[in-house]
Amino acid sequence: MKKSLDAMSGMAHRLAWENIDPAYIEKIVSLARDEDVAGEGLVSAMRPARAGDPTTEISAPRGKTAAADLVARKPCTLSGLSMIPAILKIYGGNASAEFFAKDGDAVPAGTVVATIRGDAAEMLTAERVMLNFLQRMSGIATQTARHVAALGDVKTRLLDTRKTTPGHRVLDKYAVACGGGWNHRLGLFDQLMLKDNHLAADEATAGSALAELVRRARERRPDIPSEVEVDRLEQIPPVLEAGADVILLDNFSVENLKRAVALIGDAAWTEISGGVSLESLPTLGAVGADFVSCGALTHNVPWIDVGLDWE
C-alpha cells in the first residue's frame, strides 16, 4: 500500500489570513478590549461603575489626531499585522494603518513595520492590546523560523501541535505558518489520532487487538486521516497491517527512529515526536521521516519587543 496523498493534505496545512473567520477576530479582540476598559471576567462588584480609559480621556481630548510608528526593536519574523485593521475598527474606526511589512517577513531590529494615524484617544486606548497580539504572535513566528532553520534543508516538515493557548489556537497556528512551519491537527475534529492513552483505554496496545482498533477507527471515519502513536518497534507491524495513514514515533532513540522509518518505508507517513528541540532537530532531520512535531513552537514562547513610538 502506498501512502495516500489525501492523508498528506490532512496532515499538514498552512493557515493563511483568508482562512480565519473575521467574526472570530472580532470576538477575540472585543474580549481583549472589554477586559481592559470594562473589567470583563471579574465579578460585577469588581467591575468599574464607568467603563473607559480615564488616563487617555484626560491626556488626549476627543478629536485630537496623532501618528505613531510600530517598530520592531529586535530582529524577528512578523505575525499579527493582519489583525491591526480589525483592532482599530473595534476601538472606534477613526484611525488607520499604513504597512511597510507583512506577516511572515523577517525584519532587523529598528524596522518601522507600520505607521498608525488618526484619533489619538483611540490609538492610546488600543495600544496595549494591539501590541499584545503583535508581540505574542511575532514571538511564535520567530520561534518557528528558528526551528525551521535548525531542521535544515531536508524533506522532513516541521509540524506544530495542539499545545496552544485556549481560545487562541487559530492565531497561534497562523503565527506558526508565518514562521515557515506547518499546522497539524487544527482540532480534535480533523484527524483520527490514536495515542497511547486511547490504546490503553481500549486495551489495544499490541498485536491483533491493536490492529483491530486501527481497522475499526478507519472503517468508522474513512473521510479523515488516521494516525497511531507507537513507542516501540514491535507495535509497528500490526499498525501497518491495519492500514494506518500515519505512524507517530514517540520518544524513540535515534537508532530506533532509523529502524522504524526503514521498516515503515512507503506504507505510511512517519512523524517524529517527543522531546524535540532546537538542538535535536538537525539530527532528527537526517533520519528521513516525513514530519517532526514540536510543542515548543507555541508554548513558553518569548514575546518579541515591538513598540509604538509617537511622532
Please give the full DSSP string across 139-162, using - where no structure is assigned.
HHHHHHHHHHHHH-SSSPEEE--S
Q: Specify the residue for cell string 485630537.
A: 64
DSSP 8-class letter at 114? E
- Contacts within 8 Å (CB) and 24+ apart, 236-240: 236/260, 236/263, 236/264, 237/263, 238/206, 238/207, 238/208, 238/210, 238/211, 238/214, 239/210, 239/211, 239/214, 239/268, 240/264, 240/267, 240/268
Q: How far is CA 233 from CA 16, 84, 178, 257, 262, in A?
A: 37, 49, 35, 9, 11
Q: Which of 23, 47, 24, 22 is nearest to 36 (CA)?
A: 47
State the catalytic residues.
128, 163, 195, 229, 250
SS3 75: coil
Residue 111 and residue 101 in contact, taking contact as beta carbons nearer than 8 Å: yes
Residue pointed to by grid coordinates 512507503: 266
Distance between CA 94 and CA 117 in Å, rounded?
A: 9
